[in-house]
Amino acid sequence: MIDRIKIAETYKTIQDEICQALEQLDGSATFEEEVWEREGGGGGRTRIIQNGNIFEKGGVNFSAVHGKLSEQIKKSFGVDEDEFFATGVSIVIHPNNPFVPIIHMNIRYFELNEQIRWFGGGIDLTPHYVLEEDAQFFHQQLKNVCDANHPDFYKDFKKWADDYFYVRHREETRGIGGIFYDKLTPEKTGLSYEDIFIFSCELGRSFTPTYTELVNRNRNKVYSDSNKNWQYLRRGRYVEFNLVWDSGTKFGLETNGRIESILMSLPPQANWAYDFHPEEGSEEAKTLSLLKKDINWIN
């Protein structure tokens, strides 16, 4: 029988494992840690890596918080109870090299009581330049994890990611998607809470081998000032999604979350250009043409 303590402790271990692997991958920078407490209850460990060989800025955060839900969140969840517990690991990595993609992962657990509790999470990739062989590898890795736990997970969660990570005001996806899921329960999946928890942990532990491969494929590619400027423009789109549409950001702000931890997903630098259009036939134009929903990346 799993409980909130076991879930939180396991997520903390996954945070440790990922931080150690990312430090080794970068080879230069190390994580700075800040342990914090939430005024309403609970706290977490914010870990930031900056100015490394590979990573310009990244965060691997753990939190386990509790307290009272706001009236707005209660209405959104359709519940009357207001005492909640939430724990999770959240990751965003912004690399130096424009050919190394941004990656985001989140695994989380939310509980009101024994009857109302669920798991959520996902991983998605935001390349500055969409490389189809990398997209195929990334999605195959996620499909392997999903298929080992439920035959419908990849199909359902990929569509969920395509719909969720959509920058509606730009009519483009944030990147090449991945998988996204929320409010998973035994009633919705046919799995026990223990099995859903196992899936959550396996997904979390797939982060390191998947991103390590993508980094090593692209870390030594030579780039120009033009490539760098494109990277900053794509980061701008990333910022727009996170501040306008991301439900995790909204939940954190509306539950009196820690601002620095919530906004650690933002890049160190992002640019906006008025009415920018890439040159026809360029790699930048190709990337824009692939920022669409419902692309089958796995042949």
Catalytic, 169? Answer no
132-159: b (≥16 Cβ within 10 Å) or e: eebbebbbebbbebbeebbeebbebbbe
- How many residues does the structure list for the chain? 299
> How many angstroms separate the CA atoms of 263 and 258, rounded?
9
Q: Which position has the token pair 């499909």? A: 143
Q: Name the residue among 111, 36, 34 with its Cα closest to residue 67.
A: 111
Catalytic residue among 66, 94, 104, 277: 104
Pairing type for strands 177-184 and 55-68 reads: unpaired
| Residues labelled catalytic | 104
